[in-house]
């Protein structure tokens, strides 16, 4: 009876964990820092890094620790942002190519794609999380 109860408890725990949303959305995530006074954790999916000459594409994840402390201008309040980026290693520029916003349950709130016309490349600035991304995906200092 005790063994059966233990098994039932273990199965219940596994089902509960399986039902919980995950912020990973797959991938091999490497933490690279925080922004917004430490309230947003930033990671890069190392398995997403793809080099094509001087252009590198990759995916990052930003998890908001305390969503109530953030302002969400022109977007829904979200818990996790999964973004696809493109960095030009020679020109030291970057641009967003796709953005998926998830709520605390892992449900998609928004899913957007961007072209080079929609969002122009921006310069990478020293002391930013983008500088850390540049160094990781391009393999050199800014």
pLDDT mean values, one per 10 residues, the chain (142 residues): 41 33 68 96 98 98 96 94 98 98 97 94 97 97 95
Domain locations in the chain?
23-138
Q: What is the rounded distance in angstroms from the CA atom of residue 142 to the CA atom of residue 70?
A: 29
Cα dist from 119 to 70, 76, 133, 137, whole Å: 23, 20, 19, 20
* CATH number assigned to the domain covering 23-138: 2.40.128.710
Rg of the chain in Å (alpha carbons): 18
**pTM for the predicted model, two decimal places:** 0.79
Ramachandran angles phi, psi of 10, nearest 5°: -65, -45
Q: In this predicted model, what pLDDT tens digit does every residue of 20-49 receive, in sequence order?
A: 334 445 789 999 999 999 999 999 999 999
- What's residue 86's pLDDT? 98
């Amino acid at each position: 009876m005790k063994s059966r109860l233990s098994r039932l408890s273990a199965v219940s725990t596994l089902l509960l964990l399986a039902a919980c949303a995950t912020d990973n959305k797959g991938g091999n995530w490497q933490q690279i820092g925080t922004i917004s006074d430490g309230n947003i954790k930033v990671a890069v999916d190392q398995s997403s890094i793809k080099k094509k000459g001087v252009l590198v594409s990759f995916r990052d994840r930003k998890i908001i620790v305390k969503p109530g402390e953030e302002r969400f201008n022109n977007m829904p309040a979200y818990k996790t942002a999964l973004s696809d980026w493109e960095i030009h290693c020679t020109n030291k520029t970057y641009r967003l190519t796709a953005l998926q916003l998830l709520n605390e349950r892992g449900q998609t709130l928004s899913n957007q794609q961007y072209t080079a016309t929609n969002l122009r490349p921006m310069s990478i600035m020293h002391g930013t999380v983008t500088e850390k991304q540049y160094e990781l995906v391009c393999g050199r200092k800014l």
